[in-house]
A and B are shown apart, each in its own frame.
Chain A
């Protein structure tokens, strides 16, 4: 069995977000880049599955659609333990471009389980996994919070309103994973970092180089207003403020 983990290169979650070009582009100056947290957990689960004695996973490959500047993030995935990596050499401006380029590669190089994170922590589109499965004409399972392999079938838990759903699927398929898929991401060891030097990182040309989305402008959410303290005795003032200032009652 061969596993592919799609990894997105995203700004560190503590990054202070700024825009340039009249609020039409994200300002990447000084930004630290990381593996999208869900993708990192997906990779962790893939490694756990490979290490388990009762599975027969041959390789774990990571794939990223992005320019050369994403390679440190890909190297980190190799240092964590992926066997090899693919970078589709494209800018990936929207979910369509990412999914279509992933599909272009996977059609030529099939995998049994394709992991995607439920969203990427930068644009929160939640689109790539579903689109990718459609392009590949494969089944997909979303909101996967637990995944085990039993023989040739894969058993999963999906988060649904108020509980979780247990289901199985034959391979190949796309698993769109979220919180719970693995406990904590793995930290690369020094040996892993050294070994990553020798692991293959194949750069392939893009299948498509167009985007279907036009980004018009960005804006930051309004900053939170200061907290107003109301004396516990003064219910009248509280009601008054809720009525006239917050206008919530």
Chain B
């Protein structure tokens, strides 16, 4: 385990020169926190399939939830580059920890900030940002994953409240959430978003067990059986898939950065090992086959770092399109998964143990390559962008 705490970030193209001093302090602070609070314990939580709940408070105190939210709602008012760097460092620790933070920030805080009423913002944002309450995001259903537009969760208008029925599946944070952002259809079949407080009558959130991936993150269902939701908890304006998709855009942006963190962690651990481990009388880093793996990993990480930096600037300028974010998410997650597999091999048998992070990253990244749009769906997004012809159906 100690092998990964002494982390040295690959920076082949001197990316540090492109970041402001403030961005570097942000990144290094999260890096230090991950070294102190995540790295020493994460393998244990992963193995026990337990959510490290103490981290929520610490992440809240550090200001890692909703970093781009302005001060008036309790946020630190940083930019999207800062958000990206925070996600990169968190996922260097663990994709499950990053997932918890992604959901809290991009799928709960973000929609309340973008679509919520002033009362909703005042009521929920400060506590979500401090980590006093946890949120989750219910879009996916048992029979509607890649095609969320066909969802069947519905609500009917009852004057001062609505009655919600349906079920959501594969929901990160579901069992520990105090509130959920639920997307459901009204009587006309229009998708609307609402804030559902946990624990009311007809509400349940059973946990999904047996995951080989994101074991340190909670995944579960949300079941609504005639759940009464006050009307003031509905987002007033936003209608249709545009609502959830803009949240996914924000989350995917963070995931694209996060994947680079996981890749950097694998690369760093493998490089250190390869220089120390000797076979046939010399360090295995001196063999061409191992150098191929390391050199290609460094090349791919460097490309991704450049792309992330550019994407961060574009997002700050309001010019990052859904298709750009989709491309980065797809490329970076696939790259990280590939690097996890290749670097694991560099470690030989040691690579399959939890003394090193590769297996955990590898298993985690199988979720990351699936959620927030599968690898295939993101290819179709880029395909549609390139050709102008959607091929989703």
Contacts and interface: CB of A to CB of B under 8 A. Distances in A.
Interface of A: 14, 71-72, 75-76, 79, 184, 187-194, 197
Interface of B: 6, 8, 21-22, 24-26, 29, 32-33, 36, 61-64, 67, 71, 76-78, 82, 86
27 contacts: A14-B8, A71-B21, A72-B21, A72-B24, A72-B25, A75-B21, A75-B22, A79-B25, A79-B29, A184-B36, A187-B32, A187-B36, A189-B29, A189-B61, A189-B62, A189-B63, A190-B62, A190-B64, A190-B67, A190-B78, A190-B82, A191-B76, A193-B25, A193-B26, A194-B71, A194-B77, A197-B22
B117 to A, nearest CB: 25
Contacts, number: 49
Contact of B29 (A14, A187, A197): A187
B76 A194 contact: yes
B62 A187 contact: yes
Contacts of B21: 71-72, 75
Quick one: which of A79, A189, A192 has the most chain B CB within 10 A? Answer: A189
Nearest to B37: A187
Contacts of B8: 14
Main secondary structure of the interface of B (DSSP, over half): helix
B356 to A, nearest CB: 20
A79 to B, nearest CB: 6
Contacts of A75: 21-22, 25
Contacts of A194: 71, 76-78
A187 B35 CA distance: 11
B78 to A, nearest CB: 6
A190 to B, nearest CB: 3
A193 B76 CA distance: 8
Contacts of B86: 190
The 3 closest A-B CB pairs, nearest first, are A190-B63, A190-B76, A72-B21
B87 to A, nearest CB: 13
A2 to B, nearest CB: 25
B6 A14 contact: yes
Contacts of A191: 63, 76
Quick one: which of A75, A79, A188 has the most chain B CB within 10 A? Answer: A188
Nearest to A190: B63
A72 B29 CA distance: 13
A14 B268 CA distance: 14
Given A187-B36, A190-B26, 9 more contacts: A72-B21, A79-B29, A187-B62, A189-B29, A189-B63, A190-B76, A192-B63, A193-B76, A194-B77
B383 to A, nearest CB: 38
A189 B58 CA distance: 10
A192 B33 CA distance: 15
Nearest to B35: A187
Contacts of A188: 25, 29
A66 to B, nearest CB: 15
A44 B61 CA distance: 17
Contacts of A189: 29, 61-63, 76
A183 to B, nearest CB: 12
A129 to B, nearest CB: 26
Contacts of B67: 190
A6 B29 CA distance: 21
Contacts of B22: 75, 193, 197
A198 B66 CA distance: 21
Contacts of B63: 189-192
Contacts of A184: 36
Nearest to B77: A194
A108 to B, nearest CB: 28
Contacts of B6: 14
A158 B107 CA distance: 52
A197 to B, nearest CB: 7
A34 to B, nearest CB: 9
Contacts of A79: 25, 29
B192 to A, nearest CB: 32
Nearest to B83: A190
A193 B82 CA distance: 11
Nearest to A185: B32
Quick one: which of B29, B71, B82, B86 has the most chain A CB within 10 A? Answer: B29
A76 B77 contact: no
A162 to B, nearest CB: 31
A190 B77 CA distance: 9
A188 B67 CA distance: 14
Contacts of B62: 187, 189-190
A75 B23 CA distance: 12
Nearest to B60: A189
A153 to B, nearest CB: 33
B21 to A, nearest CB: 4
Contacts of A197: 22
Contacts of A71: 21
Contacts of B25: 72, 75-76, 79, 188, 193
